[in-house]
Each structure stands twice: as structure tokens, then as C-alpha cells.
Amino acid sequence: MTDGWFAGLEPGDTEAAAASIREGTAEEPADWPALAVQAGFAEDEASYYRLLRAATVAAASAAATERERADDRQLVHAVRVMDDCREAANGLAERVAEWGGSRDADAGAGLDYARELADSEPSDPVDRRVASLARRVVDLDEERERLRRFVERTAPEVAPNLTAMAGPVLAARLIALAGGLAALAKKPSGTVQVLGAEDALFAHLRGSAPSPKHGIIYTHEYVRGTAREQRGSAARALAGKLAIAARVDHYSGERKPELETELDARIGRIREREGGT
Amino acid sequence: MTLPEGVERRSFEGRERLATSGPPAYGEPVVDGWRLWDAGRSKLGAMLDGGFDTGLRGGETVLYLGAAAGTTVSHVADFAGPTYAVEFAARPMRDLLSVARDRENLFPLLTDARRPETYAHVVEPVDVVIQDVATRGQARVALENRRFLGTDGRLIAAIKARSEDATRDPAPVFEDAVAELETGYEVLETGRLEPSHADHLGVVARPEDGTF
């Protein structure tokens, strides 16, 4: 016989009761109200239900808060810093290569060269500065990698449907570009389609360029992997479903796997039009 | 079909609509203390409105799976007894909590309806399981939660075809779901919930004794 949620609890200790509601388990239900009265936990059924209600409300509220703390603002910060780290690491890696090249004709280039130098321990004071700078570059690159893993963990909690469809990094970038999940959920799909292509969009509005077919969603396989003539259609279909996914994530949070199935089918039809990809 | 006690047809702007009596929950119209229960927004509402023989009389102990923001569950708690409301997503739970705040007999649980062992230490055996979960494997969820029902218990479920397979025609999806349900339940009544809920099948069933 397993224990009910109230086993070993003091009747007034709502915090411990909430923890027991959240962490406890039982294979089978039992007549908990009667058992609780029998055990002396509650005087009668009515007082049992009062205690149960206080405990379930506290447990659900704490659990919801905990899940929401991994909220969209944290995701936005993380993905922005992730991109900054990459940019800074690449920029500084160039400086390292430039500086290193002035000391050594065989100097390499890019992050690989910075990694190579970071492991060296030169005695010359100038070479020591270059190696030290190279270590900062490697640190930044490692930080970028850790941030990417954080984004991959957090995005599915913040926006499960959007993440399932776009992947965690693109989902996070869309949320960041819109300025939050709530803001993204309010955007029409045409705006989602060109998020991240603002320069091209304004050039088009000034009359000096064609309208952009896609923004950041270009990184999605469904756009990039579709033949050029059909890419606009693919981008439109993808943006439409992403906009719906963002709304579901913001307003209900419920998982709707059928959104992905519908998108898969739609992209399949678009790609058939061109006779394969 | 008779409505459970506590559910009535009342006049809203000249039309007879379902209503329950209780604290307002989500901005629904209220006339003389009776809250409009919109069958277009609630699958259980559509089943009652459409004449399903749900077996509900009022005052039952209820386990509600897939409570979402608590629209339907607020009406259920109005006419039922102790009502356990399971919802898996954190965001709608916020709204559900505010519905629960005004209702002494509503117990919210933030957990996964596919894992009854995470709430069987809280939920007592119930008279009715009401299920509205938009997840793949809806029949499986009903079978897993059969443990909460006695032999006289009722399962009232809304099966959503597109959650099982969005590309298949709904009719065979429903056939498969009902066939799977019949491995543990005796299905008493089924019916489509069109036009208010496209591609949904309403099901009333009772646990099959002896099996499982």
C-alpha cells in the first residue's frame, strides 16, 4: 500500500504539502479523504478538501513559476550574447592572425590559429601578449558554445511548438528579433517571413530594391534546401506556420504536433512543383 | 437527454444556451448569476448541448484531463463535486489557478496526463474522467487513467483527429482510437462534434470489468 500525499505531514505546513504533491507518486489511487481522516491528518472530509486545495494551488503555482522563470527574456539575452560572442571571437581572431603574422611568416588564420597560439607559452614579451589575446578568443568561442547549449535547453520550454518547427537557435533568434514571444505572437506571418531582413525591406520600401523573400528564416532547411524558383513559396508557407506556432506557444502553451505534420506536407507539395529539390 | 443538475438552458440575448451557476471565470456573459457555457468553446458543452447521454447527474467526483486555461473545468466545478484538474503546460495553468481561487472544490495539478502515477497519490477514485488532451495517443491516455474509475464510472472524452495524424482522414483515425479504447472500455456512445468543433469525436464509455 502506497502513501497518500499527506503522509507524514503536519496539517498546517502548506509548503511541505506542496512539495509532496509535486514529488510524490503512487501506482493506484485510494480513498485518500477517508484515509486522511483515519490517520488524523484532517478532522473530517470538508477540512481534508480545504487542506488539499491549499496544497494543490500552492504546488501548481510554484511549479508554474519555476517553469516560467526559464522565460523568453532569458532566452533573448542568451541568443543575443551568443551571436555577440561569435562576432567578437571572429573579429579578435583576425587581429590575432594579423599580429601573429607580423611575428611569424607561417602564422595561420582564424579561430584554429588562435587555438594553436593559446596553447603556446612563449617567453618573448610580445609573443606572450599575442598568445594571451589568443586565449581570450578561445574563451569567447567556448562561451558561445555553452550559450548555444543553454539556448537548446531553454527554447523548448519557452516556445515548444516554435522550437519543434524551427529548431532552438532559429526559434530563439525569431523571438529576439521580434522583442519577445508575446511580440512575435502578435506579428502577421508576412512580418515573420522578413524578420532579420529589415535593411532589404527598407531599401525595397524606398523603391530601390525588390521585396525580400525571407529574413532569418533563410537558415531553415525548408527555405535554403528548396530550389530558388520555389523558395518564396516555401518561405511563405514556413513563416505562416511559425507565426501560428508562436501564437499557440504564447496563448496556450499546448503542444500541437499536427502543425509540423501540416508544414511537412505543404513543403512536400511545393517541392513537387519543381520536380524534386 | 437530461442535463446534469446544476446545468440549465437559460436565455441569453433571446437564445436558449447552456449555463451554470458560479463565480464568473473568464469574462463570459452572466444573467441572474447564470454563466453562459458556450458549446462553441467547450467540447463537453457541445456534447451536452448535442444530446449525448453522458450519464452526468451533478455532484460527481471528477478527474479532468487537459484542463487548459480552465474554461470548461470552471463549469464542471460549478455542477460537480470534488474536481481534479490536470494540465501539463505552465502558461494556461496561470489562468486555471485564478479559476481555482474562486472554487473550493477545484484542485489544479500541473502534471502529465500520460503519467497517472504522478498524481494517483493525490487523486481519489472518481465517478467520471473527462478527457480533452491534444496529444498523440489519446486512447492510451484514457486507458492509463482507467485506474481512477470504478465499474460504474464513466469516461467522457473528446478525441481530436489532428492530434493523432494531421494528414489522415479523420474517420479512420477515430475508428483506430475507438478500437484501442475498446481494449479496456465498453464504448456506449460516439458522435462527431461538428460544426462547433471540427474533426473531433465525442465518446462516452464505461470501464470493462474483469479485463486489463
Domain boundaries, chain B: 38-207
Query: Does residue A4 belong to any structural domain of this protein?
Result: no
CA-angle at B185, arms to B157 and B93, nearest 5°: 30
Q: For A182-226, what is each residue's pLDDT tens digit?
A: 899 999 999 999 999 888 888 888 888 888 888 999 999 999 999
A88 lies in a domain? yes
Shared domain check, A276 and A164: yes
Phi/psi at B65 (5° precision): -105, 125
- On chain B, the residues whose CB falls within 8 A of the CB of A162 are none
3-state secondary structure of B12: strand
A207 inside domain: yes
SS3 content of chain A, % helix, strand, coil (to 5): 75, 0, 25
Return the C-alpha cell found at A11: 496539517
CA distance A33 to chain B (A): 8
Residue with cell 473528446: B158
Q: Which domain holds residue A27?
A: 14-68
pLDDT beneath 70: ranges in chain B: 1, 210-212
Q: Which residues of B touch A254 (CB under 8 A)?
A: 68, 89, 92, 134
Least confident of A20-29, A59-68, B85-94: A59-68
- Comparing CB atoms, the residue among A25, A67, A253 nearest residue B117 is A25
Both A43 and A89 in one domain: the answer is no
Whether residue A176 is found in the same domain as residue A92: no
Domain shared by A75 and A170, yes or no? no
Q: Mark yes or no for CB contact A261/B165 under 8 Å.
A: yes
pLDDT at A69: 60
- The yes-or-no verdict on residue A277 having pLDDT over 50 is no
Q: What does DSSP say about strands B149-160 and B126-131: parallel, antiparallel, or unpaired?
A: parallel
Residue B13 DSSP symbol: T
**Of A155, A173, A192, which marks where a domain is finished?**
A155
Q: Cα dihedral sign for B59, B61, B66, B70?
A: positive
Residues A28 and A80 both lie in one domain? no
CA–CA distance, B177 with B202 (Å, rounded to integer): 11
| Pick among A241, A258, A262 to test the B interface (most B CBs inside 10 A) | A258
* Whether residue A209 is found in the same domain as residue A260: yes
Q: Are residues A164 and A258 in the same domain?
A: yes
- Give the residue with greater pLDDT, B11 vs A253: B11
Q: Under a CB-based contact definition with an 8 Å cutoff, are residues B126 and B149 in contact?
A: yes
Which of A155, A174, A196 is a domain's end point?
A155
Distance from CA of A213 to the nearest CA of B (A): 28
CA distance A170 to A176: 10
The per-residue pLDDT for A106 is: 84
Partner-chain residue, chosen from A21, A61, A256, that has the shortest CB–CB distance to B122: A21
Q: Which of B155, B109, B108, B114 is nearest to B133 (CA)?
A: B114
Do A169 and A275 share a domain, yes or no? Answer: yes
User: Which chain B residues touch A if contact means CB-CB below 8 Å?
Assistant: 68-69, 82, 89-94, 96-97, 100-101, 104-110, 117-118, 120-125, 134-136, 147-148, 162-163, 165-167
A5 located within any domain: no
pLDDT at A276 exceeding the cut of 50: no
Give residue-wise pLDDT tens across range A112-135.
999 999 999 999 999 999 999 999
Average pLDDT of span A62-81:
83
Instruction: Provide the shortest C-alpha distance from residue B126 to chain A (in Å).
Output: 9
**Would you tell me how many other CB atoms lie within 10 Å of the CB of residue A189?**
16
Q: Are residues A230 and A175 in the same domain?
A: yes
Pairwise CB contact (< 8 Å): A257 & B136 = yes
pTM over 0.90: no
Distance from CA of A252 to the nearest CA of B (A): 6
List CB contacts (< 8 A) between B124 and chain A: 29-33
Q: What is the dihedral of CA B11, B17, B19, B25, to 10 degrees?
A: -100
Q: Enumerate residues 6+ apart whose C-beta is below 8 A from B147.
A: A28, A29, B116, B120
* Nearest CA among B169, B2, B131, B5 for reference residue B80: B5
Q: How far apart are CA B180 and CA B29, in angstroms?
A: 39
d(CA A12, CA A174): 46
Cell of B175: 475508428
pLDDT of residue A65: 77
The DSSP element (H or E) to which B185 belongs, if any, is strand B185-192
Question: Does residue A275 lie within any of the structural domains?
Answer: yes
Residue A250: pLDDT over 90: no
Across the interface, do B120 and A56 touch by the CB < 8 Å criterion? no
Looking at the fold, whether A77 and A149 belong to one and the same domain comes out as: yes
CA distances from A225 to A196, A215, B65, B118 (A): 19, 15, 41, 43
Contacts of B120 in chain A (CB under 8 A): 25-29
Q: Flag whether residue A269 sits within 8 Å of chain B, measured between CB atoms.
A: no
Q: Which of these three, A140, A155, A170, is where a domain ends?
A: A155
In this predicted structure, what is the pLDDT of residue B210? 53
HSE at residue A220, side-chain half, CA atoms within 13 A, is 31
Q: Which residues contact B191 (CB under 8 A, 6 or more apart)?
A: B47, B50, B52, B201, B202
A202 CB near a chain B CB, below 8 Å? no
Which candidate, B92, B186, B104, places its Cα nearest to that of B134? Answer: B92
Q: Write the CATH number for A136.
A: 1.10.287
The interface predicted TM-score (ipTM) is 0.94
What is the count of structural domains for chain A? Answer: 3
Which residues in chain B are closer than 8 Å to A24, comparing Cβ atoms?
121-122
Report the C-alpha gap between A186 and A178 in whole angstroms. Answer: 9
- Classified as helix, coil or strand, B22 is coil
Residue with cell 502558461: B91
pLDDT at A275: 54
CB contact under 8 A, A56 and B163: no
Residue A9 lies in a domain: no
Kindly determine whether residue A252 and residue B94, on different chains, have CB atoms separated by under 8 Å: no
Cell numbers linked to B91: 502558461
Q: How far apart are CA A3 and CA A26, in angstroms?
A: 7
Residue B102's beta-bridge partner residues? none
pLDDT at B211: 47
At residue A198, the pLDDT reads 82
> Which residues in chain A have their CB less than 8 angstroms from residue B94's CB?
64
Nearest CA in chain B to A70: B90
Please provide the CATH number assigned to the domain covering B38-207. 3.40.50.150
CA–CA gap between residue B100 and residue A45 (Å, rounded): 19
Mean pLDDT of A162-178: 96
Cα(A251)–Cα(A230) distance, rounded to whole angstroms? 32
In a domain? residue A172? yes
CB-side exposure of A251: number of CA atoms within 13 Å?
A: 11
Report the residue of A6, A61, A254, A261 to disrupt the B interface, i.e. the one with the largest count of B CBs within 10 Å.
A254
